[in-house]
Amino acid sequence: MRILIAEDDRLLGEGILAGLKQKGFKAEWLQDGLAAWNALQAEAFSALVLDLGLPKLPGLDLLRRLRASGSTIPVLILTARDTPQDIVAGLDTGADDYLVKPFDLGELAARLRSLVRRAAGGAAPTLECGRLRLDPAARSIEYEGHPIELTTREFGLLHELMLNAGKVLTRAQLESKLYAWGEEVESNALEVHVHHLRRKLAAGLIRTVRGVGYIMPK
C-alpha cells in the first residue's frame, strides 16, 4: 500500500510520513496541493491523506479536480476544521473519510487499511485466496494454516496481488506501489521477489503474464 500525504505543516508531515512507514505503509509526502495533483496524475497511489489548508491548490479544490477527472482513489481528509459544515463539505466533495487533528496515528493507519480494502471491493479485514490468508493489520501471512515469514517487500507485493486477485497488475503498477521515491529499483527486482514468494508459498500461486506483469488467480 502506497499512500500520498498532502500536508504543508512540516512537523506534522514528517510525523505522518514516519508513522505510516513504521506501520508498514509505503508513503510519500508533498507540501502543496499542486505538487500532489501532479504526483497523482503521474503515479499510482493506494490512498490520499489530504489536508484542507494547502498552498497553491487548496485541499477541497484538489479533491474536486480529482473527482472531476474520474479518479476513484480513496481520500481521507485530515484537518483542524471540525465543524459539521466542514465535514459535510469534505465528504460531499468526494472524500471517503475525515479525521480531525489532533489524531492518533494508529487510528489513521486503521482507517487507511479500511479505505483501501473497500476500494478493492472487500469488507473483511483479512484477505483470503485459496489456502492463503493475509492480515494487513498484523502484517502476517498464513499458508495452509501455517505462518510464513516474508520480507517487507514480499509482503507488500503479495498484498497488492491479493487485493487485486483476478486482475493482471503491470510491472509499473507493482513497482510504483512497492518502491518509494528515490529508492533504487533493480531491473529484475520484481522477478526476484516473485521467485521468492513462489518458493515460500506455492509455485503456481502467482502467474506470469508474459510481457505485461503478474496475476494472482481468484
Contact positions toward Ca ion, by CB under 5 A?
8, 51, 53
Rounded distance, CA 82 to CA 101, Å? 8
C-beta of 8 vs 61, nearer to Ca ion? 8
Helix-then-strand count for the chain, H and E: 8, 12
CA separation, residue 132 to residues 118, 123, 125, 173 (Å): 20, 17, 14, 22
Q: Which residue is nearest to Ca ion (CB)?
A: 53
C-beta of 80 vs 172, nearer to Ca ion? 80
Q: How far is the CB of 105 from Ca ion (least distance, A)?
A: 18
Reduced DSSP (H G I as helix, E B as strand, rest coil) percent helix, strand, coil of the chain, to 5: 40, 20, 40
Q: How far is the CB of 12 from Ca ion (least distance, A)?
A: 8
C-beta of 16 vs 201, nearer to Ca ion? 16
CB 153 within 8 A of CB 194: no
C-beta of 30 vs 190, nearer to Ca ion? 30
